[in-house]
Amino acid sequence: MAPAPSPFLDPGTHARANSLGILQLRRDHLIPAVLSPNADSDYAEGKVENTRFGSFPHSTLVDQPWGTQILASVVDTGSRGKSKKRKRDTKDEGAETPVTEVEEVKKDIVKAAVASSGFAHLIPPTPETWTLSLPHRTQVVYTPDYSYILQRLRVRPGDHIIEAGAGSGSFTHAAVRAVFNGYPGGAEDASNGTHDDDEESAVGISKKRKRKARHGGVYSFEYHEPRAKQLQVEIKEHGLNDLVTVTHRDVYNDGFCLADDDSNLPDADAIFLDLPAPWQALKHLTRSPPSSAALKSVAASSDPSTPSNEEAPAPPTTDSSSQPFRSPLNSKSAIRICTFSPCIEQVTKTVSALRSLGWLSIDMVEIAAKRLEVRRERVGLQEEGVRGGNASAATVQEAVQRLRDVEGERLGRKGEGKGKKEKEKLTKEGLPPSKHDRLEKTKRDLENRTLFKEGRLVHRTEPELKTHTSYLVFAVLPREWSKEDEEKASKKWA
Ligand SMILES: C[S@@+](CC[C@H](N)C(=O)[O-])C[C@H]1O[C@@H](n2cnc3c(N)ncnc32)[C@H](O)[C@@H]1O
């Protein structure tokens, strides 16, 4: 049976058990949870998400349509810890194979009752919501940056992308969605599907060609072992393990090829480096072994204190096991790279190294994303008691009328000290409407109002936004030009 599709790529219409769902408490307050109502839990109601707006047992989330408003539940916190009566490790009793035996006292999940504490919305996971809710293990790449990066890298379905370091996996999820064009071993593979594909020819002409579908893939590298392991767990939980290969590796020393033979090369079309020293990884991202002159120049530019006559690092013509040079790049297409660095000194070193290694069209971009709050501003006395309205006087007439009403209310309330003239006026015009009357009138008027298009349309930038995340350096490594390419071009363009 084919594995269930990843909720990031095909969430379906409803939340599924054992699949990721996101509880949205507020716009920027999201709680991710793999929905497992029957998982072992201390609560009588099964597994529960406890939030500031109340408790949400997973049993109330599974099978709900995405977007549903879920009411919080009354959770029996008193039952916590009573589910397991005895935990006995038979190792203590001298058993040969240690087996941990857990005796369950209760088996049935108690149906949760609705609480008055609040609600949350159940939404499907996307790279954007995952970025906002993922457990941070490092600084992460945010949506405004990765959306720009992926379009500048021209990443499209079927591409292979190298990513280092993978960190918390924020970029990884966006990258896998961008390259996704089916699961390896899926229906398309079974029917040996071919498709028209644009192949960039060596002479720069895009030609249509029938070829077997190439599945998109992300090759992620992370030096910090616990982070790499945690990312592997998450990628599996999210149903993405057929599409993402997470490798624990120091890419500065060991490069990007996965095996000692040609069986599992990344064959990358695009590269994203979010590393403290991206220039140190560039020597492994070439089509052929870099010359020692290029390596010397990379070493000198990355450390200006290195005298130019100092011995250059050994070119990666062989790896530690004396294997021949293998390139992790797709030999059939131009390669696009992006490096993400927080300071300009790192940018300078990266640009010098890129130049030495033959990269072209090098440029740098800084994203200064701003979020605009767009809303309608409704001002006027008719807004009293209306949600989202500003009940101040909008005109001089309204202000004068309001003053008259306040004065009238005061006189009407006191009843005493009223002059003859004032008494006459009050009896003639009647008492001004009380607050209760005004609110009742507003309620009646609301039925005929179209709030969504009333008022002035205004927009503001949200003040708390960071304006600088990092500098993005982009470059292109053209296809290698072979003798055959030259011959083909001369024939075609003679
Ligand atoms: C800022 S984090 C990356 C965040 C990631 N792009 C994301 O969106 O979640 C940088 C990562 O690079 C990793 N790193 C540093 N040096 C490395 C190396 N030589 N090889 C592989 N990873 C490395 C660090 O361990 C760290 O997790």
Report residue 71's pLDDT band, with 50, 70 and 90 as the boundaries. very high
Q: Residue written as tokens 């990066």?
A: 149
Q: What is the pLDDT of residue 311?
A: 44
Cα 165 to averaged position of ligand 1 atoms, centre (Å): 3
For ligand 1, the distance from its centroid to the CA atom of residue 227, given in whole angstroms, is: 9
Please tell me the predicted confidence (pLDDT) of residue 422: 63
Pairing of the two strands 217-222 and 244-248: parallel
Q: Start-end ranges of CATH 3.10.330.20 in the chain?
A: 20-125
Out of 173, 221, 222, 280, mutate this one to test ligand 1's pocket (max ligand atoms within 8 Å of CB): namely 222
Best residue among 224, 232, 471 to mutate for probing ligand 1, ranked by most atoms within 8 Å of CB: 224
Amino acid letter for position 423: K
Q: Whose CA is nearest to atom 17 of ligand 1?
A: 223
Burial class (CB in 10 A: 0-12, 13-18, 19+), 433: middle
For the cut 60, the answer to whether the pLDDT of residue 315 exceeds it is: no
Pocket probe for ligand 1: among 147, 162, 223, 346, the residue whose CB has the most ligand atoms within 8 Å is 223
Q: What is the pLDDT of residue 260?
A: 74
The residue whose CA is least distant from atom 20 of ligand 1 is: 250
Distance 49 CA to ligand 1 centre (A): 30
> By alpha-carbon position, which residue is closest to atom 26 of ligand 1?
167
> What is the Cα–Cα distance from 334 to 11, expressed in whole angstroms?
33
pLDDT value for 428:
56
Find how far residue 12's CA is from the centre of its chain: 19
The whole-number pLDDT of residue 155 equals 98
Between the CA of 3 and the centroid of ligand 1 the distance, in Å, is 30
Q: 248 C-alpha to center of ligand 1: Å?
A: 11
**Which ligand 1 atom sits nearest the alpha carbon of residue 171?**
8
What is the CA(454)–ligand 1 centre distance, in A? 49
Distance 353 CA to ligand 1 centre (A): 19
* Residue 10 clears pLDDT 90, i.e. is over it: yes
Question: To the nearest whole number, what is the mean pLDDT of the chain?
Answer: 83
Pocket test for ligand 1, best of 274, 339, 469, 472 (most atoms within 8 A of CB): 274
* Ligand 1 center from residue 164 Cα (angstroms): 6
pLDDT at residue 100 greater than cutoff 50: no
pLDDT band with cut points at 50, 70 and 90 for residue 98: very low
What is residue 379's predicted lDDT score, i.e. its pLDDT?
Answer: 93
Ranges 270-279, 426-435, 437-446, most confident: 270-279
Q: Is the pLDDT of residue 90 over 80?
A: no
Write out residues with Cβ below 6 Å of ligand 1. Answer: 138-141, 164-171, 221-224, 227, 250-252, 274-276
Question: Which numbered atom of ligand 1 lies nearest the CA of 277?
Answer: 16
Question: Would the pLDDT of 112 be above 70?
Answer: yes
Q: Residue 407's pLDDT band (boundaries 50, 70, 90)?
A: confident
Task: Please give the distance, rounded to the nearest whole angstrom, from the Cα atom of residue 55 to the centre of ligand 1.
Answer: 35
Give the Cα separation of 285 and 115 in Å (integer): 57
Res. 108: pLDDT tops 50: yes
pLDDT of the residue at 102: 40
Most confidently modeled range among 129-138, 169-178, 321-330, 372-381: 169-178
What is the mean pLDDT of the segment spanning 4-17?
A: 94
Q: How confident is the model at residue 113 (pLDDT cuts 50, 70, 90)?
A: confident
The Cα–Cα gap between 58 and 18 comes to: 10
Lowest-confidence pick of 257-271, 411-425, 479-493:
411-425
**Could you tell me the distance, in angstroms and rounded to a whole number, from the CA of residue 239 to the centre of ligand 1?**
23
Specify the CATH number for 131-186+214-370+469-492; select among 2.20.25.90, 3.40.50.620, 3.60.20.10, 3.40.50.150: 3.40.50.150
284 CA to centre of ligand 1 in angstroms: 17
Who has greater pLDDT, 139 or 308? 139
Q: Which of 218-232, 248-262, 460-474 has the highest mean pLDDT?
A: 218-232
- Residue closest via CA to ligand 1's atom 1 equals 139
| 169/221 Cα distance (integer angstroms) | 10
Q: What's the CA gap between 275 and 164, in Å, rounded?
A: 7
Testing ligand 1's pocket by substitution, the residue of 128, 138, 171 carrying the most ligand atoms inside 8 A of its CB is 138
| pLDDT of 183 higher than 60 | yes
CB distance 248 to 311 below 8 Å: no
> CA quadruple 197, 203, 205, 208: dihedral positive or negative?
negative
Q: Which of 221, 252, 273, 275 most suits a substitution to test ligand 1, by most atoms within 8 Å of the C-beta? A: 275
Binned at pLDDT 50, 70 and 90, residue 430 comes out as low
Q: Name, of 82-86, 361-365, 465-469, the range with top average pLDDT.
A: 361-365
Give me the pLDDT at residue 429, please.
60
pLDDT of residue 40: 77
Which is more confidently placed, 373 or 275?
275
- Please tell me the pTM assigned to this model: 0.79
Contacts of 216 (CB under 8 A, 6+ apart): 157, 158, 159, 160, 176, 178, 179, 180, 181, 243
Residue nearest to atom 25 of ligand 1 (CA): 224
pLDDT at 116: 76
Confidence class of residue 80 from pLDDT cuts 50, 70 and 90?
A: low
pLDDT at res. 201: 47
pLDDT for residue 94: 41
Residue range(s) occupied by CATH 3.40.50.150 in the chain:
131-186+214-370+469-492
| Percent of the residues in the chain that have a pLDDT greater than 70, as a whole number | 78
Tens digits of per-residue pLDDT, 18-70? 999 999 999 889 999 999 988 777 777 788 999 988 999 999 999 999 999 99
Structure-model confidence comparison of residues 112 and 316, the more confident one = 112
CATH annotation of 20-125: 3.10.330.20
Q: Looking at the CA of residue 251, tell me the nearest atom of ligand 1.
A: 20
So what's the pLDDT on residue 318? Answer: 45
Per-residue pLDDT tens over the stretch 334-366? 999 999 999 999 999 999 999 999 999 999 999
Considering 183-187, 195-199, 305-309, 413-417, the range whose residues carry the highest mean pLDDT is 183-187
- pLDDT band for position 101 (cuts 50, 70, 90): very low
